Structure 1
Amino acid sequence: MKRKLLFLVPLFLVSMVFVSCEDEEAFFEESLLIGTWRSGTLHYKYQANGTGGTWDTADDVQEDEAQAFTWTLSGAELKHIHIMEMGATVPKVYTVTQLTATSLRYEDDFGKQFSFTKVSG
C-alpha cells in the first residue's frame, strides 16, 4: 500500500503543475474599442452597435467615404466583416494583443502586427 501511495503522490503533484500552467484566455473590454483609431494614414472607427468604417487618407479617402464593416470582439478575437460596394463581404480575423484607452494592437494569422492610437472616443 505504501508503494502505491509513494507512486500516486508524485503523480498527482506533477499533474497539478500541468493544470496550473495552462494559459488563461485573454479578455479585452469591448467598450475600450469604441472610437476612432489611427495608424499613420489608416483610420478605423468602431461604433457601439457593432458597425464601423475604415479609410486611408493617403488614398484621398475621408471618413464620409469609409468602407463599412461590422465587428465583434470575443476574448482576444477581433473579427471584421468588410462590406464591399456590390454587397460581398470579406471576413478578417485578428488576435488582440493590447487594448487600452489609448492603444490598440493586434495581429493576423500570418503574424503581421498592427498598432493604432485612439484619436477620438
Structure 2
Amino acid sequence: MIWDQSVVRVRAGPPPDRAGNTIKDWTTATRTTITRLSVQPVLQTERQETDRTSVVTGWRVLSEPGTAPDVRADDRIEYDGLLCEVQGEVGRWPHPVLGGTHHVEWQMRRSTG
C-alpha cells in the first residue's frame, strides 16, 4: 500500500524574546504524528575527507490525495528514528475539479558529519 507511512512533525514553540521578536524554542516543541503518507528516498551522498565523513540523505514526502497535513518550511520531521529538516517550501497541490487541496508534498533532508 502506498499511503501507509507516517512521520512526526516537530514544531518549535514561539515564545517572544524581551524585544517582542519570535524565536524558535525547540525545547518546548510540539510533536504531531502525520499519517497516510508516501516517503520516497531521493538523495544519498557520502563524502570522505581525511578527518571526517559527511553524509546527506533526502526524501520526498507525498500525502494521500484528499489530505492536507499541516507542515511548514520551518518544521522538523522525525522519520525512521532520524531527525530531518524540511527543505524549501511545502507544496500544496490544488484539486483540479473540486477545488481545495488535492495533496501536499515536501522534501526533507538529514546531514551528518
Q: Give the TM-score of the pair, scaled to structure 1.
A: 0.27
Which has the larger share of helix?
1
Tell which has more relative contact order, 1 or 2 (C-alpha 8 A, sep 6+): 2
Q: Give the TM-score of the pair, scaled to structure 2.
A: 0.28
User: Which structure would you say has the larger Rg?
Assistant: 1
